Homo-oligomer: A and B are copies of this chain.
Amino acid sequence: MKEYVLEIAKRAKEASMVLANVSTDVKNKALNLMADLIEENAEKIKLENSKDLKAGEEAGLSKAMLDRLLLDDRRIRAMAVGLREIAALPDPVGEIVKMWKRPNGLMIGKMRVPLGVVGIIYESRPNVTADATGLCVKSGNAVILRGGSEAINSNRIIVDILKEACEKTGIPSDVVSFIDSTDRSAVYEMLKLDEFIDIVIPRGGEGLIRFVAENARMPVVYHYKGVCHTFVDKYADLKMAEEICFNAKVQRPGVCNAMETMLVHRDVAKEFLPVMCNRFKDAGVELRGCETTKSIVPWVKEAREEDWYEEYLDLILSIKVVNSIDEAIGHINRYGSHHSDAIVTENYERAMRFLKEVDSAAVYVNASTRFTDGFEFGLGAEMGISTQKLHVRGPMGLEDLTCCKYVILGCGHIRE
C-alpha cells in the first residue's frame, strides 16, 4: 500500500509541474471535454453507480446515505454543468494581485501560482469527484482523489472519464489520480507524503476529519462542525427576521450552514418569539429554549448548557434571549464553531460591529446563513469549507487553490 500511494503521489507531483504552465485555453478545453464525456457516458456511469447502490443496500446504509450515493440523469448532468461553469470562470494562475514601486525603483509584485498537488479525502457523494477535479485542474493543481469505499465503482468510472479528457487535450492524465482502494491505510500513507502533496482537504464526518487533522504532515483545510447562529437584534425588521430564521433552520436542516441556535434581543423577544416559535412548531422543529424563552413560550423544551455547543443537523433549534449585542457576539464567539453567523438589524452601527467582531468564516447582515457555499458565493463550486484561519476561511474556490509568490523587476539593482 505504501509503495502504491507513494507512486501515485510522485506521478501527481511531476504532472503538477507540467500543468502549472498549461495555458488557460487548454485547461478550459479539458474541462469542457470532461463535461461532454460525462454526459456521453451517462449510461455507463449509472451502471457502475447501481453496483455501489446494491452493495450499499446490502451493507444496510441509511436511506439518506443511499440518496447521497445515487447518480441519476439529473445529477450526472449537474456534474457536467458544474465543470462547464468552472471552465467559464477566470483563471487565477498568473494574476498579479498587486505590484508596487520601492523608492529605489524596484517593482515588487505578488503573482498567483498553483499550490501543486491537492489531496481530497471524501465520503459518499460521487459528484465531488468531478467538482474537485474541475477546480484543481482549472487552478493548475494536480488532484489525488480518495473517495469513500461505498462509492468506489462510481468514482472509478468518473475518474477514467476525466483522465481521458486530459489525455485528449494533451494534459498529463496523472493530474487526476485516484486511490483505487478501500483500505483505510491508504489515507494514512497519503498523509505522510508532505514532500509530494501540498495540502489535504478532508470532507466527511467528524471522525474522518479528526483523523486527517491529527495525522497529516502537510497543511489541512477543514471544518469540524457548523454551529451557526442568527441574532435577531432589537432593531430588526421582525418579519424579515422571521423569514431569515425560518430559512436558515428549515430549508435544509442536515447541512453545515443551517442555523442551530437563534439569539433574540430581550426588547423584541415578547413580540417575536411567540409568532416565530409557532411557525417552527408547525414545520416540525423541536425547540429548546433558555429560561427567558420558556417564560414567554412555555411549551418550549428546556435548553441545557450542552445545547449551545450542539450541531443538531436536524429539525431541532436552541433559542436564547440575550440582554445586549455584546452578549450575542460573546455567545457566538464562545459556543459557535466559527462557521457562519448572521445578525438581523436595521441599525447601521450594530451591523458594522457584528461584521467586525464576530470571529467566523462568514458573517452576515440580513441574510440566511444557508448561503455559505462556493456556488452561492460565485466561486463556481467549492473544494470544502474551512473554519480554520490558515490558509483560507469559508468556502474554498479557485483562488483559494493558489498562493502568491513575489515577482521582482529590477534594472540592475544591487543592495548597498
Asked whether, in the complex, the Cβ of A415 is within 8 Å of the Cβ of B368, the reply is yes
Number of identical monomers bound together in the oligomeric complex: 2
Fill in one digit per residue for A112-141: 1 if any B CB lies within 8 Å of its CB, else 0: 010110000000000000000000000000
A240 nearest CB neighbor, chain B only = B412
Fill in one digit per residue for A260-271: 1 if any B CB lies within 8 Å of its CB, else 0: 000000000000
Q: Which of A39-47, A79-87, A178-186, A358-366 contacts B (4 or more CB under 8 A)?
A: A358-366
Whether A102 is near chain B, meaning CB under 8 Å from some CB there, is yes
Whether A17 is near chain B, meaning CB under 8 Å from some CB there, is yes
A252 nearest CB neighbor, chain B only = B415
Asked whether, in the complex, the Cβ of A409 is within 8 Å of the Cβ of B366, the reply is yes
Q: Closest CB of chain B to A88's CB: distance in Å?
A: 14
Which residues of A364-386 are within 8 A (CB) of B? 364-368, 370-372, 376-378
Whether A198 is near chain B, meaning CB under 8 Å from some CB there, is yes
The answer to whether A362 and B198 touch (CB under 8 A), given A370-B414, A415-B371, is no
By a CB distance below 8 angstroms, the chain B residues around A102 are: 376-378
By a CB distance below 8 angstroms, the chain B residues around A395 are: 406
Pairs A-B, 6 closest by C-beta atoms: A367-B410, A247-B414, A367-B413, A391-B391, A370-B415, A390-B391
Cross-chain pairs A/B with CB under 8 angstroms, 17 sampled:
A17-B359, A21-B356, A94-B356, A106-B367, A111-B356, A244-B414, A355-B407, A363-B406, A364-B409, A366-B413, A367-B412, A368-B415, A370-B414, A371-B408, A372-B406, A394-B405, A394-B406
